[in-house]
Amino acid sequence: MKLTLERLKRHAIAASLFPPTTLGRAIQRIGFIQADPIRSPARAQDLILRHRVRDYKAGDLERRYPSLGVEEDFLYAYGFMPQSTWRLLHPRLTSKLTASEQRVLDIVTAHKRIHPRELEAYLGRKREINAWGGYSKATTRILQHLHYRGLLRIVGRENGIRLYEPTAAQHDPPDPAERLRRLVLLISHILAPAPERSLRAALRHLAHSAPALQGRRSIVGSLIQSGELASAEVDSVRYVWPAGRLIGKAPENLVRFLAPFDPLVWDRSRFEHFWGWAYRFEAYTPPPKRKLGYYAMPLLWKSEVAGWVNISYRQGALKAQPGFVRDEPPDPAFHEQFAAEIERFRRFLQAEPAYNTNVNATAHRGGDAGLE
């Protein structure tokens, strides 16, 4: 059977939006959940998990984090991952610790877990210029570096501030070539099917997340040659995915509001090829230049991303404002399913009943929705 764009879309949707399961199993199955601090109306990690976890409520990941056996770290972006993923990233560095780093590590080890503020009693409140040109406390910078090295882990948060504890006994990692192989197959699984160019671009982040691993530039070609990655060309775009039959399951008659960083829409070049329009995340775009809205979420209907939706959550109530790239889907079932997704979203936020959810009343084509 000839490979078509529709078959690629069906596989991407079915593979990524698998039947909802438990929180722990969902994280293990995906392998990585991208995080983002913006809460409009919920954080990206919660928006991603709500489609994949039964009865998920905003904040469940943070509430249950200590008991899940997951880690915060950087893969191709910063986020949450099972320990099976985390172990592939470490060790990153084997150089000797500086005297300051060793002292901080010793203090944290003695306390079992620590808030950065507690270190000030030992090390003072000295500040340094950070990578963005601003100032950070030197103690915080050291904690972050020890976390990057895998010597400390994030055990939780207090009012958004990371709490640290020593990492458990060091694991025995596979050899570097095997670690790289597994990482590439994992990332290709998360983003599958991915344009080969996009996969290679994502793998460039391994220079930061797994700097000790060599061969990053040639690994995709090697895995295609070995048959562990399948590849095919559609509309002059070469796609790759972990070897195996593409899922041909017809998409469900559902409306879904997707996070801007959901794996299904993460790669913007694939998004444009799949759905024929350019989605942009505009939270950092000046309001006069926004076309979709501050936190516009892609609106998936069956196998098409027909537009976007901005959701505001104020005074305990929900307001949804959709927009459509072309025309509102003519299928009468769309209105019913749009309302059903609003209700799911309300339960996810544990909000009061939604209002102003009439699609016809709020739909528009382009223009800033103005939701802050």
pLDDT of 356: 55
Q: Is 348 helix (H, G, I), strand (E, B) or coil?
A: helix
pLDDT in tens, the chain (372 residues): 589 999 999 999 999 999 999 999 999 999 999 999 999 899 999 999 999 999 999 999 999 999 999 999 999 999 999 999 999 999 998 899 999 899 999 999 998 889 988 887 777 655 544 443 443 477 888 999 999 999 999 999 998 899 999 998 777 888 999 999 999 999 999 999 999 999 999 999 999 999 999 999 999 999 999 999 999 999 999 999 999 999 989 989 999 999 999 999 999 999 999 999 999 999 999 999 999 999 999 999 999 999 999 998 877 778 899 999 998 999 999 999 999 999 999 999 988 765 555 554 344 444 433 322
Residue 62: exposed, middle, or buried by beta-carbon count in 10 A (0-12, 13-18, 19+)? middle
Q: What is the DSSP string of 31-89?
A: --EE-----SSS-HHHHHHTTTBTT--TTHHHHHHHHHTEEEEESSSEEEEEHHHHHHH
Residue 275: exposed, middle, or buried by beta-carbon count in 10 A (0-12, 13-18, 19+)? buried
Domain 91-166 matching CATH 2.20.25.190: the answer reads no
First to last CA, the chain: 47
Picking from 273, 260, 188, 269, the residue whose alpha carbon sits closest to that of residue 222 is: 188
